[in-house]
Structure 1
Amino acid sequence: MGARDADALVERVDRLLPQTQCGQCGYAGCRPYAQAMAAGEAGVDRCPPGGDAGARALAKLLGVPPRAYDRSLGEHHPSEVALVVEADCIGCTKCIQACPVDAIVGGSKRMHVVLEPLCTGCRLCVPACPVDCIVMLPAPGPQGAVQAEQTRSTS
């Protein structure tokens, strides 16, 4: 496979991933995981946010046997977004530092806000919060590449 073909495969694999950038797969984000799968260095079963449907879609694309996602890496949750409970936020900035996609804004000792369209639902902000003022809510619409790809293919 040439470099151009390899790059195209990485792009296709990456588009199927939910883009949470959560790191539960053991890679620094969705793109490095996609590169490892395209190179045959990682299995299709390492993405809890993608769940079994994501693992099946990846297996089909890569021409490998389908496998359920590895539940030891984390739970699969429906698409979610974070919400900061304003009354409880102390403005510590720990959630801002934990967010891999810069979806949380706010200043030190000021209330923070999640920019919903940017939030991937990775949940990394939740354990970072010392006062437990972040809750996860169902996403308002299709979120993540697997859901977006399914939406495109049925349209």
Structure 2
Amino acid sequence: MTLADRIDALLPQTQCEQCGYHGCRPYAEAIARGEAAINQCPPGGTAGIEKLAALLQQPVLPLNHEHGIEKPRTLARIVEADCIGCTKCIQVCPVDAIVGAAKLMHTVIADDCTGCELCVPACPVDCIVLLPMPEAQIDIAHADAARANFQRRETRLERQRMQHEADLAARKVATNAATSPINPVLAALARAKAKQQEPKP
């Protein structure tokens, strides 16, 4: 197990980005490299700082309030009657804890919610409220599940990004081939297709 692994195991896995990094793992790696302080995680709070200090044999530091304040963990809940189905909350949830479809009501899977609060500012109609997180949900098992959900989402988004880039590259090649002077037949076909798509008077 690497030092980053051991640091990551002590973080709350909210994936809230309050530390200034895109999730708990990048923050753990930054701490391991000596590029980030151990007091940048408000959800972990004082207890989390103490654990990190003990692991790294560093002095305990007060929480850096530039990254937020320590407060009780919460769960998001969507007021369904007010939801307009815009999907903005789904897009920002780092652990895929919100389900729904465009123009349809969304809901939060409470067991998967980490209380990151990223969905709150994303909602254009303020239909998301924060409720106290049950103490039983603040444990290693929940943190491990949140880490796995975050990694699964990151993998999926990277795969979609690469597919999108590949599709764009393929279209560019096809366009260049169709308009190249050395491909008059393809160019003629492209012009014919473009003419068909022109609005008729």
User: What residue identity is the alignment partner of 1:142?
Assistant: Q
User: What residue identity is the alignment partner of 2:116?
Assistant: C
Q: TM-score normalised to the size of structure 2?
A: 0.67
1:8 aligns with 2:2: yes
Change over 3 Å in CA distance of 1:144–1:29 after alignment to 2 = farther
Structure 2: unaligned runs, 5 residues or longer: 144-201
Higher relative contact order (Cα pairs below 8 Å, separated by 6+ residues): 1
Q: Deviations over 1:118-138 (max 9, x none)?
A: 111000000100111101111
User: What residue identity is the alignment partner of 2:63?
Assistant: Y
> Alignment identity in percent?
60
**The one of 24, 48, 53 aligned to 2:42:** 48
Asked if structure 2 preserves the Cα contact closer than 8 Å seen for 1:56 and 1:68, the reply is no
Identify the residue that residue 138 of structure 2 maps to in structure 1: 143
SS at match of 1:56: helix
Q: What do you get for the CA RMSD once the two structures are aligned?
A: 2.0
Structure 1 residue 51: Cα displacement: 1.1
Asked if structure 2 preserves the Cα contact closer than 8 Å seen for 1:17 and 1:144, the reply is no
1:115 aligns with 2:129: no
Identify the residue that residue 131 of structure 1 maps to in structure 2: 125
User: What residue identity is the alignment partner of 1:47?
Assistant: C
**The one of 73, 79, 92 aligned to 2:73:** 79
Structure 1 residue 142: Cα displacement: 3.5
Matched ranges for 1:67-106 at <5 A = 67-106=61-100
Structure-2 separation of matches of 1:35 and 1:99: 22
Structure-1 separation of matches of 2:4 and 2:111: 25
From the two aligned structures, give the one with the greater helix fraction.
2
Structure 1: unaligned runs, 5 residues or longer: 1-6, 149-155
